[in-house]
Amino acid sequence: MNAVRLGLNAVSAVTRKELYSYLVSPMAYVVTAVFLLVNGFIFFLIIASPQAEASLRPMLPTTAFLLLLIIPVLTMRLLAEEKSTGTMELLMTFPVTDSQVVLGKFLATFVVYLLMLAPTLVYVVIIRAFGGNEWGPLLSAYLGLVLLGAAFIAVGMFSSSLARNQIVAGVLGIGLLLLLWVMGAASSVLGPRLSSLIAYLSLNDHFMNFGQGVIDLKDVVFYLSFIAGALFLTVRVLESSRWRA
Amino acid sequence: MIEVRDLTKYYGPKVALQGVSFEAERGDILGLLGPNGAGKSTTMRILTGYLPPTSGTARIAGFDVTESSLEVRRRIGYLPENVPLYTDMTVSAYLDFVARAKAVSPRRASVEWAMDAARVDHVAGTIIGRLSKGYRQRVGLAQAILGDPEVLILDEPTVGLDPNQISETRQLIKALGGDRTIILSTHILPEVSMVCNKVVIISRGTVVAVDTPDALTRRLIGADRVAVAVRGPAEAVKSRLQGVPGVLSVSPSPTSNGVLHFEVDAEPGHDIREQVAAAVVEGGWGLQELRSQGLSLEEIFLQLTTSEEGVPVA
């Protein structure tokens, strides 16, 4: 029990520190501003068009793609900077395990992401004012966005663990996410068995179901295991970077 | 408290450490002395569990640094060479984070004590990135002593400081001694004699001498040490060697296969090798080996910083 409490304290120490760093650096604010501005503009275009429907569904693919481009910017710093400035060395001599470091940083970024997403709840108010009266699709859309964002953060952290340079980490993150995004399209050229596996790994396909107002347990499990897998790989990279040194 | 056995570390094909062994008892302030690139930082990184050794073992408070890394990390405070700190945080926010990460309790009081001891209390609200090198060094020291760990590992704690700061830092380290065990690395000879009670000299990844600072300084400044291997009766050989003019002391080393090994210290400027050889032959014993050890130390001595100007004596 005591070990669990100490473990949670270590994770929360890292999370607090990381939230502090987000708070005092301009990056999180700039990313949030860009996201809200572009996303708001898209929302306006969709809602103002003559054949507008009172739902979030038409804009979800664009929002998801926008997140794909900006979340790696939010995560690129996380581990790459610690490596390039040398603070990683000190961090790793504290009684904090590699997985606690990774989990703590992930949670901090997740909190920042939720704060970034929160203002978009005005869209819900507007949609309801325009006569959209179904809660189901709205809820499923937000659940989808939360899971998708968390998966992006996990991939972004993994990229950050691979690089020493923040920019490289960011570009790598966007590249990996784009690759996972377009994977679904590969199914048409590959054989049926391989293609179903590849399509399963596509972050995009699972997200689309949420947009339709369907919460499928399979999709939720997919995202949760995807996040766990990416974080696990990040921990392994951190561990191995020590043994290779 | 600290036991290092046969530590070897390769970076790829490059040897960084080769069979390094030494020990420190509780309360020791041990200085790792050596020129740049000798393997001081590598040794410290292995002790903190940050780098795994290629072979050999290191134990702190009885815990192996690779097998029980977390137990070791709960007991150490570490100041890395270039003092990596989060430059976007204020001093107090940073130390609060370190206290949480080290699970120090009571947290507030411990942070206050560390800030006080490292004399950074008046810059508590300043962002670390805006501090001078000297203050960053103090913040680094504050995080190392936070939680009052049993063992402090300080890599070049006075490098880059001005003379007054150097003197202050040394006083602080001495004051921190007492119950704690401290390992510090340096390439400055006077620092060792001022602060440490035990010195380990490393050069090119191997330990070339373990001694007290005074004896070491004597040897470095010119006293010659000669290693002799003799086949003969231990007591008679020893007393005969002591009788050689210019010899200060004769200390026996472990015997192997019936061959006696001695380390003979001579007065500065005396090359006693010929007299020692003559003495052994006159005694009718077998001289197996005779070599000057002063030379290797001399070489290292040339690469060390041996004098400082303007630094008040701590």
Q: What is the spatial distance between Cα B314 and Cα B312, in angstroms, rounded to a whole number?
A: 6
Q: Which of the residues A88, A93, A101 would you substitute to probe the B interface, choosing the one with the greatest number of B C-beta atoms within 10 Å?
A: A93
**Three-class SS of residue B42?**
helix
- The per-residue pLDDT for A51 is 78
Size of interface A-B (CB pairs under 8 A): 71
Q: For B161-189, what is the mean pLDDT?
A: 87
Q: Which of the residues B71, B73, B146 would you substitute to probe the A interface, choosing the one with the greatest number of A C-beta atoms within 10 Å?
A: B73
A3 reaches B (C-beta below 8 A): no
A93 and B101: CB-CB below 8 Å?
Answer: no
Percent of chain B with pLDDT over 90: 40
- The per-residue pLDDT for B32 is 92
Is B222-300 CATH 3.30.70.3190? yes
Closest CA to A237 of A167, A147, A138, A169: A169
B88 and A24: CB-CB below 8 Å?
Answer: yes
What residues of chain A, 46 to 105, have a C-beta less than 8 Å from chain B? 85-97
Contact B154, B270 (CB under 8 A): no
* CATH superfamily membership of B2-216: P-loop containing nucleotide triphosphate hydrolases (3.40.50.300)
- The per-residue pLDDT for B169 is 87
Q: Tens digits of per-residue pLDDT, B18-27?
A: 989 999 999 8
CA torsion sign for B56, B60, B66, B67 is positive
A240 reaches B (C-beta below 8 A): no
Q: Tens digits of per-residue pLDDT, A20-69?
A: 999 999 999 999 999 999 999 999 888 888 877 777 888 888 999 999 99
Closest CA to B91 of B120, B61, B113, B132: B120
- The per-residue pLDDT for B211 is 82
Percent of chain A with pLDDT over 90: 60
* Per-residue pLDDT band at B300 (split at 50, 70, 90): low
B93 and A20: CB-CB below 8 Å?
Answer: yes
A95 and B70: CB-CB below 8 Å?
Answer: yes
* Per-residue pLDDT band at A237 (split at 50, 70, 90): very high
SS3 sequence, chain A? CHHHHHHHHHHHHHHHHHHHHHHHCHHHHHHHHHHHHHHHHHHHHHHHCCCCCCCCHHHHHHHHHHHHHHHHHHHCHHHHHHHHHCHHHHHCCCCCCHHHHHHHHHHHHHHHHHHHHHHHHHHHHHHHHCCCCCHHHHHHHHHHHHHHHHHHHHHHHHHHHHCCCHHHHHHHHHHHHHHHHHHHHHHHCCCHHHHHHHHHHCHHHHHHHHHCCCCCHHHHHHHHHHHHHHHHHHHHHHHHHHHHC
* Per-residue pLDDT band at B74 (split at 50, 70, 90): very high
Contact A76, A170 (CB under 8 A): yes
Contact A185, A237 (CB under 8 A): no
Residues of B in contact with A92 (CB under 8 A): 49-50
Q: Tens digits of per-residue pLDDT, B231-283?
A: 888 888 888 888 888 888 888 877 777 788 888 887 766 677 888 888 888 88
Residues of B in contact with A16 (CB under 8 A): 97, 100
ipTM of the complex: 0.89
Nearest to B86 among A21, A89, A96 (CB): A21
Alpha-helical (H) ranges within B35-187 are 40-47, 69-73, 91-101, 107-117, 133-145, 163-176
CA B278 to chain centre: 37
Stretch(es) of chain B classified as CATH 3.30.70.3190: 222-300
Nearest to A6 among B85, B89, B103 (CB): B103
Stretch(es) of chain B classified as CATH 3.40.50.300: 2-216
Q: Tens digits of per-residue pLDDT, B122-148?
A: 999 999 999 988 899 999 999 999 989
A75, pLDDT greater than 90: yes
Nearest to B101 among A21, A85, A96 (CB): A96
Q: Tens digits of per-residue pLDDT, A99-137?
A: 999 999 999 999 999 999 999 999 888 888 877 777 888
* Segments making up each domain of chain A, as ranges: 2-244
A6 reaches B (C-beta below 8 A): yes
- The per-residue pLDDT for A80 is 94
B162, pLDDT greater than 60: yes
A89 and B45: CB-CB below 8 Å?
Answer: yes
Nearest CA distance, B52 vs chain A (angstrom) = 7
- The per-residue pLDDT for A11 is 94
Task: Write the single-letter amino acid at B173.
Answer: I
The chain-wide mean pLDDT, for chain A, equals 89
CA A42 to chain centre: 20
**Three-class SS of residue B297?**
helix
Non-local (6+) Cβ contacts of A150 within 8 A are: A110, A113, A223, A227
Give the strand pairing for B198-203 and B63-64.
Answer: unpaired
Q: What is the spatial distance between Cα B240 and Cα B223, in angstroms, rounded to a whole number?
A: 20
B74 and A95: CB-CB below 8 Å?
Answer: yes
